[in-house]
Amino acid sequence: MTHFKSALYLGAGLAAFATLSMPAHAQDSNEDESRTLQTVTITATKREQTLQDVPVAVSVVDESVIEKAGIVDLGDLQSVVPSLRVSQQQSSSNTNFIIRGFGNGANNAGIEPSVGVFVDGVYRSRSTSQISDLPNLQRVEVLRGPQSTLFGKNASAGVISIVTQKPQFELGGSVEGTVSNYNGYRASGIVTGPISETLAYSLSANFNKRDGYVEDLGDGADTNERNRWGLRGDLLFEPTDNMSFRLIADYDEIDEICCAAANVINGPTGAAILALGGNLVAEDPFSYEVAYNFGSENLIKNGGLSLQGDFDLGAFTLTSITSYRTSDLSTNQDSDFTSADLLGRKSDDVEIETFTQEVRLTSNGTGPLSWMVGGFYFDETVDIENQLLYGDDIRGYIDILSSGLLTSLEPVIFGVAPGTFFQPGQGFTEFYGQDDTSASLFGTVDYDVTDRLTATFGLNYTQVNKNAYSNAVSTDMFAAVDLNAAAPFITQATAGGLLLQAGVNPTDPAAVGAFAAAYPTEFATIQATAAGAPGALQQLQFLPPFLNFPNAVEMGSTDDEDTSVTFRLAYDVTDAVNVYGSYATGFKASSWNLSRDSRPTPSDYALLAQGGLLLPNLTTGTRFAGPEESKVYELGVKGAYADFAFNVAIFDQTIEGFQSNVFTGTGFALANAGEQSTQGLELDAQWNATDNLLLSFAGTFLDPVYDSFEESASGDISGQKPYGVPEVSTSTSATYTFDVKTYDAFLRADWQYEGPSDYFDEPANQALIGEQKEVSTVNASAGLTTESGLSFTLWGRNIFNDEYITVAFPAVAQAGSISGYPNQPATYGLTVRKSF
């Protein structure tokens, strides 16, 4: 909170200084002639405006920054947009986007993200279809806070809008090649030009390959490699001055060994791994060494087709965007992250087909009233097939953990031969599916109350219907055993076995009494061990039976509707400074828990019990999380002068029912937080200190809290700060441009800082890891461009090799151990680009 207050004072002071002190400077200069800062335009507001004229908290990364900073994919964006956090998780397809501390959607295909991602106006519903290399970029716009009145789908936390270059009616293009450490090779090319006077095209291709930077000391290949490529075709047809059509087709593939999870905390099970002859690199995540028995395979195929039509009808423009996309994911991972074969298979196969249609009208008038109204239709099918199967070492592992207890109890208590339970190939086979159909109407109206005061009203009405199903089967025989019913027999048998080991006949009361009198401490230990045996065995029931749905109680369907609004007043204090105040709400529909942790709610559990439908060891949980409803109050100041520009936003943002998705060790627990809120301040500034030197600073200062979260996977954590959300995030950069004879040259460096943040909401796991995440990363680049359009850029990312764990989680089937993903070490390379 101290950081937040300091930032608040800093932002207020900056705004006041700019408002009161600098207008005279702006009025004394002819801005059109002397301006040295680049004018940035955006289109995410559904009309082309300059960044400074848009009274919305938005960051824009244009093509010049993208090229100089070496930004290749969405994960690199966070180095220049501190309000945006991007975390890579267990596979190439699982990437989480977070804005202002809010975000979800990775690891569970039933959950659409709270941060909407749009590429050329087309909604990308899952991170699998979002993380390919960025092609032919013009700019990336990051809108912060709920944006439901501008977009028809899932904008409860914010929007990332990616805009690519349109085809040109003049022949041109570029080719680019990069070599980097870890045997990295990257190549891309684009050509654009006319086919006729009314038809233009562009064709682009990209290829990205790099060896893994994590060495596997086991049987797997080196991991965290890059191996991806993509193709894209784009046609622009302009038959008249008032009509245009843009047809885009794209396809990309990712085929990689990724992603390495290191041992961060080696708990008591580590000795069992070694006793089996297995290996793990204990508590040394930044050695970039792991020991697996097979590499984690990822095969991702994305493709799509979109058609945008724009029709200038005089008083307004009609826009239609139609798209069809497919995304296929196939992974298999050594999810115990050791060279012991505990899990022989952990596969996920996901197929997603999406159709969207957007139609909107935008006014073209010059009067005081301007408006936009639109409709959006979304139809998506998700099909999932997963397997989690035990490996060859699982039985030996269980025998070590139970000190042979399970083997001794199998014939005595469970009536099966020794060694029956925990056989290779036992586990879980899962099939899930979901059909999602939604429609929304949205629009905004801007009214110029005076020459300087503009009032805005926006409205969105959305209806969403989702139908989900499961067909999951557990073949883990031990997980189906009712240990509660067997507890007295387990306790008695365990005590008897321990007494026999001590040379005492458990069926002879006199002998037992004599032993207890002679050795009271040892006898108390035997009693305690026997009493705890049922609970210890329950800890080995990793994969209990699954109650499929729909069933007689759970219908497997949700129907949601919501109305979202935006109110805003924007005032031009001077020609250079404007202020605004706004209130906005946002919405995201229910999300289904399509994972093995999907369990009935307490109310449904009671009804299932009444109907005799319960399975052994079935506990309560969530089948789905209800809708997210967000709201934000925001005050902002924007200023633009000849050589200085700034933006300041102070906000209070809340999401009721935030959909929390937390890994629990074998699955993902999906639950609604009652309320999660963040008060904060964002500021960014650019200053041309000289004709050659551009200085930039952006900072986000947050005070996040779970106002109410009683039924989280970690219990009641109301009043607790959410994990993974730093209070302070900053990005500072300097770019110096100069001439070397006839060459244009530049030097650039940027520094990203994130303050400390927890890895877990769960106190016990956070206590195990004992430290917080903190980031201090420096990137740098230098380049020159010849008169002929040939450019050379030498770049480095994380040049001082900052080390931190990006995401930590409980190790699979290894109680007391923590795994985590180490960040990427220093990378560097040379990029050569030829434009023509």
Contact 549, 556 (CB under 8 A): yes
* Local confidence band at 560 (pLDDT 50, 70, 90 cut-offs): very high
Give the SS3 label for residue 742: coil
Q: What is the pLDDT of residue 621?
A: 85
Contact 671, 712 (CB under 8 A): yes
State the Cα–Cα distance between residues 550 and 552, nearest whole angstrom: 7
Least confidently predicted of 127-136, 221-230, 397-406: 127-136
- AA identity, residue 738: F
* Local confidence band at 16 (pLDDT 50, 70, 90 cut-offs): very low
Whether the pLDDT of residue 292 is over 60: the answer is yes
For residue 736, count CB atoms less than 10 angstroms from its CB and return exposed for 0-12, middle for 13-18, buried for 19 or more.
middle
Whether the pLDDT of residue 56 is over 90: the answer is no
State the Cα–Cα distance between residues 156 and 590, nearest whole angstrom: 12
Whether the pLDDT of residue 22 is over 50: the answer is no
Q: Which two tokens stand for residue 210?
A: 């790099």
Q: What is the pLDDT of residue 41?
A: 58
Alpha helices in 669-802 (DSSP H): 763-769
Most confident by average pLDDT, 77-86, 352-361, 405-414 = 352-361
- At residue 536's C-alpha, the angle toward residues 534 and 537, to 5°, is 65
Whether the pLDDT of residue 666 is over 80: the answer is no
In this prediction, residues 747-763 reach a mean pLDDT of 93
* Local confidence band at 191 (pLDDT 50, 70, 90 cut-offs): very high
Q: Which residues pair with 304 in a beta bridge?
A: 250, 325
In this prediction, residues 234-243 reach a mean pLDDT of 96
Whether the pLDDT of residue 551 is over 80: the answer is yes
State the Cα–Cα distance between residues 380 and 126, nearest whole angstrom: 11
* Local confidence band at 377 (pLDDT 50, 70, 90 cut-offs): very high
Q: Which two tokens stand for residue 607?
A: 């009804």
Contact 437, 467 (CB under 8 A): no
* Local confidence band at 46 (pLDDT 50, 70, 90 cut-offs): low
Contact 734, 780 (CB under 8 A): no
* Local confidence band at 1 (pLDDT 50, 70, 90 cut-offs): very low
Whether the pLDDT of residue 779 is over 70: the answer is yes
Q: Which two tokens stand for residue 462?
A: 């959305």
Q: What is the pLDDT of residue 131?
A: 58
Q: Which residues pair with 301 in a beta bridge?
A: 253, 328
Classify residue 221 by its DSSP letter: P
Whether the pLDDT of residue 11 is over 80: the answer is no
State the Cα–Cα distance between residues 230 and 235, nearest whole angstrom: 17
In this prediction, residues 463-469 reach a mean pLDDT of 96
Contact 101, 722 (CB under 8 A): yes
In this prediction, residues 269-282 reach a mean pLDDT of 93
Peptide bond into 259 cis (omega under 30): yes
State the Cα–Cα distance between residues 232 and 249, nearest whole angstrom: 6
Q: What is the pLDDT of residue 127?
A: 66
* Local confidence band at 7 (pLDDT 50, 70, 90 cut-offs): very low
Buried b (16+ CB within 10 A) or exposed e, 54-81: bbbbbbbbbbebbbbbbbbbbebbbbbb
Helix (H) or strand (E) holding 743: strand 743-757
- AA identity, residue 547: L
Q: What is the pLDDT of residue 497?
A: 86
Whether the pLDDT of residue 391 is over 70: the answer is yes
In this prediction, residues 248-261 reach a mean pLDDT of 92
Q: What is the pLDDT of residue 106?
A: 62
In this prediction, residues 765-773 reach a mean pLDDT of 92
Residues 6+ apart with CB under 8 A from 390: 342, 343, 344, 422, 423, 424, 425, 426, 427, 476
Distances (CA, A) of 336 to 279, 290, 323, 629, 661: 11, 12, 40, 37, 20
Contact 427, 341 (CB under 8 A): no
* Local confidence band at 23 (pLDDT 50, 70, 90 cut-offs): very low
* Local confidence band at 134 (pLDDT 50, 70, 90 cut-offs): low
- AA identity, residue 684: D
| Digit-coded pLDDT (tens) for 85-107 | 777 666 766 677 788 877 766 66
Classify residue 524 by its DSSP letter: H
For residue 734, count CB atoms less than 10 angstroms from its CB and return exposed for 0-12, middle for 13-18, buried for 19 or more.
middle
Least confidently predicted of 130-139, 231-240, 802-811: 130-139
In this prediction, residues 804-827 reach a mean pLDDT of 92
Which residue, among 754, 747, 745, has the nearest Cα to 802 in the 3D structure?
A: 754
- In degrees rounded to 5, what are phi and psi of residue 563? -120, 120
Structural Rg of the chain based on CA atoms: 29
Q: How far is CA 673 from the centre of its chain?
A: 18
Cβ atoms within 10 Å of 238's Cβ, excluding its own: 16
Residues 6+ apart with CB under 8 A from 502: 515, 519, 522, 526
Whether the pLDDT of residue 83 is over 90: the answer is no
Which tops the pLDDT comparison, 160 or 321?
A: 321
State the Cα–Cα distance between residues 204 and 507, nearest whole angstrom: 81
In this prediction, residues 247-265 reach a mean pLDDT of 93
Which tops the pLDDT comparison, 274 or 140?
A: 274
Contact 141, 42 (CB under 8 A): yes
Buried b (16+ CB within 10 A) or exposed e, 667-690: bbbbbbbbbbbbbbbbbbbbbbee
For residue 13, count CB atoms less than 10 angstroms from its CB and return exposed for 0-12, middle for 13-18, buried for 19 or more.
exposed
* Local confidence band at 50 (pLDDT 50, 70, 90 cut-offs): low
In this prediction, residues 66-92 reach a mean pLDDT of 73
Query: Given 3-state DSSP classes, what are the helix, strand and coil percentages for the chain, each rounded to the nearest 5?
Result: 15, 50, 35
User: For the packed helices 520-538 and 405-412, what is the interaxial angle rounded to 10 degrees?
Assistant: 80
- In degrees rounded to 5, what are phi and psi of residue 283? 50, 40
Distances (CA, A) of 560 to 153, 436, 504, 588, 626: 13, 11, 66, 9, 9
Q: What is the pLDDT of residue 12?
A: 43
* Local confidence band at 31 (pLDDT 50, 70, 90 cut-offs): very low
Whether the pLDDT of residue 128 is over 80: the answer is no
Whether the pLDDT of residue 52 is over 70: the answer is no
- AA identity, residue 459: L
DSSP, residue by residue, 27-68: HHS-HHHH--SPP-EE-TTSS-EEGGG--S-EEEEEHHHHHH
Whether the pLDDT of residue 520 is over 80: the answer is yes
| Proportion of the chain above pLDDT 90, given as a percent | 59
Q: What is the pLDDT of residue 39?
A: 53
Q: What is the pLDDT of residue 32?
A: 42
Q: What is the pLDDT of residue 215?
A: 95
**Mean of per-residue pLDDT scores for the chain:** 87
* Local confidence band at 6 (pLDDT 50, 70, 90 cut-offs): very low
Looking only at the bridges linking them, the beta strands covering 158-164 and 115-119 are parallel
